Amino acid sequence: MNDDRSQRVIDWALSSGIRIVAIILGALIFYYGFRIIFKQLTHVAKKVGERSDYISVSAEQEMRARTLVGIVRGLILVVTVTVVTLMVLRELGYDIAPLIAGAGIAGIAIGFGAQTLVRDLIGGFFVLLEGQFYIGDVVQVGTVKGKVEAIKLRTTLVRDGEGVLNIIPNGEMRVVSNLTKGWSRVVLDIPIDYREDLDRVIKVIGSAASQAAKDSPVSSFIIDGPEVQGVEGIEGANMIIRLVTRTEPFKDPEVARELRRLIIGALRENEITMGAVVDPAAAE
Say if CB 175 and CB 189 are below 8 A apart. no
pLDDT band at 276 (very low <50, low <70, confident <90, very high): low
Average pLDDT, the chain: 76
CA–CA distance, 160 with 156 (Å, rounded to integer): 13
| Percent of the chain residues past pLDDT 90, beyond the cut | 8
The residues facing 247 across adjacent strands are 184, 222
Q: How many CB atoms lie within 10 A of CB 116?
A: 12
How many CB atoms within 10 Å of residue 281?
6
pLDDT for 284: 42
Residue 227, pLDDT above cutoff 60: yes
* pLDDT, position 45: 53
The pLDDT, as a whole number, for residue 253 is: 84
Which range among 99-113, 161-175, 257-271 shows the weakest confidence by mean pLDDT?
99-113
User: What's residue 265's pLDDT?
Assistant: 92
pLDDT band at 115 (very low <50, low <70, confident <90, very high): low
State residue 283's pLDDT score.
40
Per-residue model confidence (pLDDT) at position 21: 81
Percent of residues in the chain assigned helix, strand, coil, to nearest 5: 55, 20, 20
Q: Which domains are seen in the chain, by residue range? A: 2-113 (1.10.287), 133-178 (2.30.30.60), 184-269 (3.30.70.100)
Task: Give residue 13's pLDDT.
Answer: 65
Return the DSSP state at 274.
B
- Chain length of the chain: 284
Q: Please determine, for residue 240, whether its predicted confidence score (pLDDT) is greater than 60.
A: yes
pLDDT computed for residue 55 by the predictor: 40
Question: In terms of pTM, does the model score above 0.85?
Answer: no
- pLDDT: which is higher, 62 or 174: 174
User: Could you read off the pLDDT of 263-275 as tens digits, one per residue?
Assistant: 999 999 998 888 7
Residue 200's pLDDT is: 92
Question: How much is the pLDDT for 162?
Answer: 80
How far is Cα 260 from Cα 262, in angstroms, rounded to an integer?
A: 6
pLDDT band at 192 (very low <50, low <70, confident <90, very high): very high
Hey, which of 30-39, 174-183, 237-246 has the most confident mean pLDDT? 237-246
For residues 66 and 70, give the distance between their C-alpha atoms in angstroms, rounded to a whole number.
6
Q: How confident is the model at residue 94 (pLDDT cuts 50, 70, 90)?
A: confident
Nearest CA to 87 out of 174, 2, 16 is that of 16
At 15-74, the pLDDT tens digits run 777 877 888 888 888 878 877 776 766 665 555 444 444 344 455 555 566 666 666 777
